[in-house]
Structure 1
């Protein structure tokens, strides 16, 4: 997935578009204006969360975009200089962390210091998750919301849900084989990695 958040429009069981917000709105507005969507339900999902979202498509495309897109600041203001801990030039940000006394004791005993030890532990955990081909909790929940909305009445839904939340991607792929192609493809897209399927 790109760094820019994407949205997906479904018309019935057919995926119309997966794209950043402005592109998705343009494609969806063009579809609605073409009168091809008569009698078919239209659902829009925010891909990062799997939540359904609504937009007002009344008026021109410019009207739709003006309502949906955040207003651009008139002039970029320089960020105020921060004083205090952290190394902004290196991308280091200071934030508060709450730990139990035994955690602080252990951290204080690390030769490289508490901050370096925490960074190292986080990097090791991230590498381990990637090596296992694991699905992040956020992706799993987004996929679950999408799956409930689009496939809640489809065969094998319960089995597919169990496989999803167990992190068993092979079983999930087997359970959804009879589902409409667009729903299968988008569900796997929401879970990448490990599927790495682009829309």
Structure 2
């Protein structure tokens, strides 16, 4: 579901479910009754564990959940007359005189030109930023779930060095669900062995 943050729950080393937070929360509520090991919920976006209050009815649980709606997908609010509200924030920028001269000469002035430059830079570095975020999420999850497993330190170095082949080899003997989730976070679902996909049972 595009634009919706995904979460994944584990019971010990076993992956239970992945999906939007509301769906995961309700599955975990029922799974905890028979769980033999601690159940932990992780954000796929950050790789970090989150805490939820699962007391009460399904409706009460859902009402307490934090809202994870990206700003880009938030519904537009009706606009009145006048200039649209862009959500701009005024801050001080220090530049050399020649920079100000160039900016002020651009169509729309300095503010418009700066915003265009920033957006162009964001697009140019998008893949790099996405790869860095994926690597960081994989590491945070690794640290929580695999910090005591063999070759953790060396695998971490391979991950940050971008040595995918070495990294995959070092974690190959780790529990299947933990290994596959790390690879999914770091490199995407296409990198996971199809034989391991959708093996989880709730």
TM exceeds 0.5? yes
Q: Say which SS state the counterpart of residue 149 (structure 1) adopts.
A: helix
Rounded Cα–Cα distance in structure 1 between residues aligned with 2:120 and 2:48? 29
Q: More deviation in 180-189 or 146-155?
A: 180-189
* Residue from 156, 162, 174 that aligns with 1:161: 156
Question: In the comparison of the two structures, how many residue pairs are matched?
Answer: 183
Q: Say which SS state the counterpart of residue 101 (structure 1) adopts.
A: coil
Rounded Cα–Cα distance in structure 2 between residues aligned with 1:189 and 1:9? 14
Per-residue CA shift, 1:19-71, capped at 9, x if unaligned? 111111121122124x1x12x1211112222221111223332332233255x
Per-residue CA shift, 1:142-163, capped at 9, x if unaligned? 2221110001011111011112
Choose between structure 1 and 2 for higher RCO, CA contacts under 8 A separated by at least 6 residues. 2
Structure-2 residue corresponding to 1:6: 6
Rounded Cα–Cα distance in structure 2 between residues aligned with 1:116 and 1:192? 35
Q: Say which SS state the counterpart of residue 171 (structure 1) adopts.
A: helix
Structure-1 residue corresponding to 2:38: 41
The answer to whether the Cα contact below 8 Å between 1:6 and 1:18 also exists between their aligned partners in 2 is yes
**CA RMSD after TM alignment:** 3.5
CA pair 68-185 structure 1, distance change in 2 beyond 3 A: same
1:57 is aligned to 2:54: yes
The answer to whether the Cα contact below 8 Å between 1:140 and 1:164 also exists between their aligned partners in 2 is yes
Which sections of structure 1, spanning at least 5 residues, go unmatched?
71-75
Rounded Cα–Cα distance in structure 1 between residues aligned with 2:189 and 2:106? 34
The answer to whether the Cα contact below 8 Å between 1:6 and 1:48 also exists between their aligned partners in 2 is yes
Deviation for aligned residue 1:194:
9.2
